[in-house]
Amino acid sequence: MERRIIFRRPGDYKAFIKLLEEGRAKGLVEVYAYCVMPNHWHLVLRALTDDGISKFMKWLTGTHAIRYRRYYKTVGLGHIYQARFRASIVEDDHHFLTVLRYVEANASKAGLARWAEDWQWSSAFARADGDRRVLAELPLALPANWYKLLNPNADEPVDQS
């Protein structure tokens, strides 16, 4: 994605999160975490089919770009996204919690919110609020000190007990 502002107003964020909800219903992926920032976003996904992530990402970015361009009346003015998505395989439970923590803490680390769970365009907020419209059930329990771990002043290692 270009480093220009894509999500200009609350409605832009809401529309993207609604797309995540629509996408979840397609049965291609489970969404474990997300964080929508002003100029990019992060997702933690698990494929439910062999090519689920690729199909989901193609649908998500394509649908988002079309709706964005229609809303802002900028159809035909080029790409919204710079390049194809990047993905990496999560190796084990510790790695999963580390990736989840990175995504959910992203907005607070960028200075967009004091606490990770205060950024309403993230799974940290949705999880704290009990909103399960987008999020799938996690494959493992979060540590009891999860919200402390998400915030910049938390120096503790991830506790897997």
Query: Cα(47)–Cα(80) distance, rounded to whole angstroms?
Result: 24
Residues of the chain short of pLDDT 70, as ranges, are 1-3, 75-83, 152-161
Domain ranges of the chain: 10-150
User: What is the model's pTM?
Assistant: 0.88
Question: What's the confidence (pLDDT) of residue 82?
Answer: 67
Tell me, what's the pLDDT at 155? 54
Q: What is the pLDDT of residue 1?
A: 39
Nearest to 64 by CA among 89, 90, 34: 34
| Residue 125 Cα distances to 22, 33, 45, 66, 130, angstroms | 19, 10, 17, 27, 9
Q: State the pLDDT at residue 3.
A: 65
Amino acid at 124: A
Judge: domain 10-150, CATH 3.30.70.1290: yes
pLDDT at 96: 97
